[in-house]
Structure 1
Amino acid sequence: MRALHVLVTVFTAFAAYYVYSPLPSTMSEPWKLMLLDATFRCAQDLSNLAHYFGFTHHLRVLNFISSYFDKLDPVSSRHLKVIDTVFDGVEVRIFEPTKEHGERLKKSVIYIHGGGWALGSAKMRSYDSLCRKISEDVNAVVVAIEYRLVPDVHFPEQLNDALTATKYYLRPEVLAEYSADPSRIAVSGDSAGGNLAAAVCQQLAEDGNIKTKVKLQALIYPVLQVLDFNTPSYQQNMDMPILSRFVMIKFWLDYLNGSQSFAHSLLVNNHTSLDQSETVFVQELLNWNLLLPSSFKKSYQPVIQSKGSPQIVKELPALLDSRASPLIAHKQTLQLLPKTYILTCEHDVLRDDGTMYAIRLENAGIDVTHAHFKDGFHGCMIFATWPTYFSVGAKTRDDYIKWLNDNL
């Protein structure tokens, strides 16, 4: 009995240590978030263990754990037709309203899911639920893109999939098939999907052969740059659920097919040091002292190395590619972009990516709505239904859908 008591005590202490992490008082439902984050970290630890013993790539294990019991078949409802199909070789899930709204043609939202370019699916319960609500509330055809994932493919293949599917949908004959209005189309995505959505919009804007223009882009806590991991939000939220700074760096290296041995160098910004002429223009475009409000900068200081690791840029030239980091696109490209919605969360390493993009777009003359949620955390929008319901998830989702309704 005494041994059992000791065992229970040790297990309880370990569980408390694993679950508990101090969170800001402004965070939405902190204890619920601690439990959710502990679940994610447990899955990550299991996948890393499988990788260590050589069973398979850790991201395959993590994707299996996160989606095996969560993927849904396409299920239509009274007012919504849902099908899985293929657009020019790329899988998509289509949500098509069937209820009459007095409009001859429907709006469209092309949606790209998040997951660090390596996880997630348009068929997961959370994204299926979000896309259903968008489709029903906005009366829009929603095209959810099922792009290929790391480690099967790397940059720029995820972007190529998203761009291919989008271009296919923009064809006049395809729009006509879905009774879609060619003048009311939005491209949207969250997290890594926000990265792909931003890059897709830039590519479309620069392509003179595309006749159908996107009316809106809506980016949800997007990841937009791989060149400064010491912005104020990266410093402030480095160990914050659901996405820590180190995990974000690992996602980037996997996406760009780089060695994980570069992680520490990226962590301290060795890849954009002052002795590298290739990155000089980046320092100007990502000068957050000029781009961020004082309420975000607080007392944080830039981390700029005088001498760094030039071999990283040589081995990973995609670090300086605006298709990977849409935030560093030139002003001439930004001026071509559509009206924009950017959602950011205070307790998110990516807060400043979205904020700097909003400012750069405004400086380029684009109409931008920047919705910032002080109680929000990364990924919160997809946690708006049972069993992972957060009030801030529903609040961010409803704000986003309202903006789509008002502007599309």
Structure 2
Amino acid sequence: MAARSEPRRGGGGGGRRGACAKLLCVWSVCSALSAAYLLYLPLPSALSEPLKLMVVAAAFRGVSQAADIGQSLGLVHHIRLINTVVTGFESLVPLDYEHIQTEDTEFSGVQVRVYQPSVNTQDGLRGAVVFFHGGGWSLGAPKLGSYDLLCKKMASELKAVVVTVDYRMAPDVRFPVQFEDCLQASRFFLQSEVLQLYSVDPQRVAVCGDSAGGNLAAAVAQQIGRDNSTAGKFKLQVLIYPVLQALDFNTASYQQNQKIPILYRELMAHYWLEYLGADPELVHLLLLNNHTAHDQELADPHRAKLDWTRVLPKDVTKHYKPVIPATGSPGILQRVPGLLDVRAAPLLADLEALRSAPRAYIMTGEHDVLRDDGLMYVRRLQQAGVSVTSRHYEDGFHGCVSFAFWPSYFAVGIRAVDDYIAWLRDHL
């Protein structure tokens, strides 16, 4: 009996082991396919280091998918989870520039960090830069990692005071709070007694920002430029791949780069709705440009400001055509008034407001959905008589400036940072 039962036990164990082996094989294949799916993303060869960008994009997509699952289960708002991961990643970036002093304080109730060279090697007063970080008005750790190093690098190489504004973010607050935080902090810093406290020349202050921070920098520069109650003004503005409008999600660059990481077309629309406190279900209507269809009540001046077929040259727009539906979805512009508010969409400002804006440096990347936002703003500022330096990177992608430091170096990010700091050094 024992002799006959042993084979049966052995056969059963072998069957279980065989089943486990099959399951392990299936799991391995599925994992490999999932990894391949996440990693594989056809990218233009002209992009800076496309294989490395694939890995970064895969990590970002994985975190985003986990965050979406967490929100669908009612566990956590997806932005909070993503921000937790971003903060953890940024904490890996090593500290540097030990000769730069930092001070965490408040400007008119807004949290800021002030960077200063330990030794003032300049005679007399110094220049200054007010910096607003990007992240879709909802993500980012301005006092950690890459942004911290970027501000230290600016302070070191410009021998200037740098103020990074830790403005409140969505989903805790919505527009116009982010704008108002940046405006309040800027007004406070531009007061003569505050500039004197930091040994800053009132004629040598710039405002700078990347992505959503570029949006805030452009809007704040416009507001301060035309505000007669603010004695201090910005001399310069540096806008790094800024997001400037939400009326056309089908510009040539949106069409060309809609699937290029790390800022996808649909993701940008989601950021806008989050910022403006609007129904996220509107995202697909925005992507169709239903809010600016021919039958919608959009003023002709606004349409003209966004007519990229006239503003941008053919070598930029290529073969892409405008997307303006004949019939749209009524009421979107009324339900989401921020879409037409120049504090949220600086590209919509009139020429009078633009004339008061400071001299500009605007950086754009060929492989960025926001490329045309920046290039259209270049033209609009020039039409208003504002001096503009337009710096375009044929291998550039959105977010590359944040990848100028360890552990995610990209050559185009390093070049972009060095170039705009060099411009500031020459003109500040």
TM-score, normalised relative to structure 2: 0.93
Q: Tell me the alpha carbon deviations over residues 312-354 of structure 1, each in whole angstroms, 9 at most, x when there is no partner.
A: 1111111111111000100011111111000000000000000
Aligned equivalent of 1:26: 46
- Does the 8 A contact of 1:218 with 1:342 survive in 2? yes
Aligned equivalent of 1:38: 58
Structure 1, unaligned runs of 5 or more? none
CA shift, 1:276, in A, is 2.2
- Does the 8 A contact of 1:74 with 1:84 survive in 2? no
Describe how 1:363-402 pairs up with structure 2 within 5 A: 363-402=383-422
Change (3 A) 1:277 1:2: closer
Q: Tell me the alpha carbon deviations over residues 198-225 of structure 1, each in whole angstroms, 9 at most, x when there is no partner.
A: 0000110110011111100000000000
Aligned equivalent of 2:268: 248
- 2:28 aligned with 1:11: no
Describe how 1:294-309 pairs up with structure 2 within 5 A: 294-309=314-329
SS of 2:140's equivalent in the other structure is coil
2:345 counterpart (322, 325, 328): 325
The 2-side partners of 1:333 and 1:197 are apart by: 14
Aligned equivalent of 1:143: 163
Which of these two proteins has the greater Rg computed from alpha carbons? 2
For 1:132, the aligned partner's letter is: K
CA shift, 1:83, in A, is 1.5
Aligned equivalent of 2:18: none
The 1-side partners of 2:108 and 2:239 are apart by: 25
2:179 counterpart (149, 159, 162): 159
CA shift, 1:76, in A, is 8.8
Change (3 A) 1:277 1:183: same
CA shift, 1:261, in A, is 1.3
Change (3 A) 1:134 1:5: same
- Does the 8 A contact of 2:132 with 2:208 survive in 1? yes
The 2-side partners of 1:237 and 1:204 are apart by: 33
- Does the 8 A contact of 2:103 with 2:115 survive in 1? yes
- Does the 8 A contact of 2:175 with 2:344 survive in 1? yes
1:63 counterpart (72, 83, 93): 83
- Does the 8 A contact of 2:94 with 2:145 survive in 1? no
Describe how 1:142-291 pairs up with structure 2 within 5 A: 142-291=162-311
For 1:54, the aligned partner's letter is: G
CA shift, 1:71, in A, is 4.6
Alpha-carbon RMSD across the aligned residues, in angstroms, is 1.6
- Does the 8 A contact of 1:47 with 1:58 survive in 2? yes
Aligned equivalent of 2:144: 124
CA shift, 1:8, in A, is 2.5
Query: After alignment, is 61-70 or 17-26 more displaced?
Result: 61-70
- 2:376 aligned with 1:356: yes
Structure 2, unaligned runs of 5 or more? 1-20
2:129 counterpart (86, 109, 112): 109
- Structure 1 ranges of 4+ moved more than 2 A: 1-10, 68-79, 98-103, 276-281
CA shift, 1:20, in A, is 0.7
Query: After alignment, is 192-201 or 68-77 more displaced?
Result: 68-77
For 2:144, the aligned partner's letter is: M
The 1-side partners of 2:366 and 2:279 are apart by: 30
- Does the 8 A contact of 2:260 with 2:367 survive in 1? yes
Change (3 A) 1:109 1:21: same
Change (3 A) 1:227 1:184: same
For 2:264, the aligned partner's letter is: S
The 2-side partners of 1:85 and 1:76 are apart by: 21
The 2-side partners of 1:99 and 1:75 are apart by: 19
The 2-side partners of 1:37 and 1:72 are apart by: 18
CA shift, 1:310, in A, is 2.3
Q: Tell me the alpha carbon deviations over residues 131-174 of structure 1, each in whole angstroms, 9 at most, x when there is no partner.
A: 01011001110000000000000000000000000001011111
Q: Tell me the alpha carbon deviations over residues 64-86 of structure 1, each in whole angstroms, 9 at most, x when there is no partner.
A: 12113535999795531111111
TM-score, normalised relative to structure 1: 0.97
Aligned equivalent of 2:423: 403
CA shift, 1:60, in A, is 1.2
For 2:99, the aligned partner's letter is: H
The 2-side partners of 1:48 and 1:177 are apart by: 46
Percent identity, aligned pairs only, is: 49
CA shift, 1:103, in A, is 2.5
